[in-house]
Chains A and B, each alone.
Chain A
């Protein structure tokens, strides 16, 4: 095992014991990147080569020199006897949807390819202040619009470290691959419909979507402003807790960052699950999706290999003293995707109007008659198909003649979804759950190219994650084994508002209960070569 394979918690411990320096941790990470990453994502990348197919391509921009300066600063602080912070010397990646001062901050889009952020997002600022060393900006679906990372304008897009012919999930695909392949110990992602939890599940790492408003959004290039949540991807539950401890909390720059005290997540980790009530819902063991021709809905059970780890987790947690509550109704789960199609598109269209080629970013080089034509050509060239789809759908469903039929109705459906969670978590209600235990995704990682292009089917990859975004509640995806093809499987825990400490505690108990499992000794394919 190399230094870069250690958990963030262990890295900090070694650093504080003077058994490793921040510089050594960073160089180990950079060597791993050199081995497994391949060429970074670029515009107009040309043909995907045989060599490209052998690498994970987590990054759009590597910031090695900036990182070396940060690592040197941490080592200087340690030498001076100062406290370098909770994440001291830990190599991290940042999803390239966050502004980081002085770095290209592209949103994986041509329209922002030349944009260099003049300020740093609050979550990143907090990580850097805590001693984290930012190794690079991770690839993602363009403007986060996707569940496979294939829509990035910066190719080659990331590949799943467990099987390089498969997608890493998305939109925080590069974040997940960078953590899974040992290029970094932690990554900052965002989750609007599952964009942290789904790629975490596909890549066999931990992904935590905090409560909406738990982590500030200032400096995050916005997609769905009522849904976006920054959060950690990590290799262990403890590391996710460590990172959340750093990035959570109110922020005067973000009026939606809740004025709620931040729990001591690390202190809560080892408290076990005795007495906790954990629910299972039949509505999370089935998926509904429309026939592509008729639009008629079909429901089917999730595959047995997806359900089995959840049932096993329930059994293990029961043995540890949790009370498992079966048959918790979450009847509006199936409406999460239709409502998301409306709400997220309206918010995306609104947020994307600002990109017009006037003040920053791409401007067309073609001759134009007037300002309007400049807008059209700039946006036509700058946006890929997925942003265009979202803008156009957002405008359609919010148009005066349709907003009652679609937008207002979608907001009402969001209320129903929230009510499902309120009833499940009501401390005086019938179920009184501390958490709901579910699968994270309806399938393991699918093959590259298998779904991309079908925007409806792609969206349904988020069916089990998106209800938490509508409701605003926190959720965590935790690795739970490998399927017959060696692909990661996962479980998801969802909890009441601001219950991250409980979710992490349950996750940690599960991790300890499965510590001896054979699958935990398996490495991603890219590390076996």
Chain B
């Protein structure tokens, strides 16, 4: 069977994921992805009742064990300068990024 994740599909995924891979790394990753898909395909063979609901997590959250939401109250961060000190590029407390690409729509 041919690989579902072709070089073209792979390139599209890499673009969507905002990644950049060397040719060697890309070849390794694509091969691994296709191998993983073979393992994942076992899911298709499992007989499932049509009304079987999925579980987003294992432990059921009920009214008894779900914590109450805390009040939605604004609180100032005690040391903003400490946070800003880790920003890769900062000018006058503004976070600087390269030009944001845009497309002019017709």
Contact = CB atoms under 8 A, between A and B. Distances in A.
A415 B101 contact: no
Contact of A335 (B43, B88, B100): B43
Given A360-B86, A371-B97, A377-B20, A338 B54 contact: no
Contacts of B48: 409, 412-413, 416
8 contacts: A226-B58, A295-B41, A335-B43, A341-B39, A360-B87, A372-B101, A379-B19, A470-B55
A195 B61 CA distance: 24
Given A369-B98, A392-B29, A338 B42 contact: yes
A415 B32 contact: no
A349 B65 contact: no
Contacts of B75: none
Interface stretch (A20-28, A380-388, A443-451): A380-388
A335 B35 contact: no
B32 A455 contact: yes
B8 to A, nearest CB: 13
A26 to B, nearest CB: 27
A249 B9 CA distance: 45
A473 B58 contact: yes
B40 A397 contact: yes
Nearest to A410: B43
B22 to A, nearest CB: 8
A142 B9 CA distance: 26
Given A256-B57, A409-B46, A411-B56, 9 more contacts: A118-B82, A290-B38, A292-B35, A338-B41, A360-B86, A371-B98, A395-B13, A413-B46, A456-B32
B98 A370 contact: yes
A409 B43 contact: yes
A259 interface: yes
B105 interface: no
Interface residues of B, number: 57
Interface stretch (A33-41, A70-78, A351-359): A351-359
Residue with the highest number of chain B CB atoms closer than 10 Å, among A389, A392, A413, A456? A392
A376 B20 contact: yes
B66 to A, nearest CB: 6
A408 B55 CA distance: 9
Contact of A392 (B14, B41, B52, B97): B14
Interface string A417-457: 11000000000000000000000000000000000011110
Nearest to B39: A290
Contacts, number: 202
A443 to B, nearest CB: 18
Interface of A: 114-116, 118, 211-213, 226-227, 250-252, 255-260, 290, 292, 294-295, 297, 335, 337-339, 341-342, 349, 356-363, 368-377, 379-381, 383, 385, 388-389, 391-393, 395-397, 405-406, 408-418, 453-456, 459, 469-473, 497
A213 B62 CA distance: 13
A393 B67 contact: no
B17 interface: yes
A497 B59 contact: yes
A406 B54 contact: no
Interface string B24-46: 01001100110111111111101
A497 B61 CA distance: 11
B19 A383 contact: yes
Contacts of A473: 58-59
Nearest to B38: A295
Nearest to A473: B58
Contacts of B58: 212, 226, 414, 417-418, 469-473
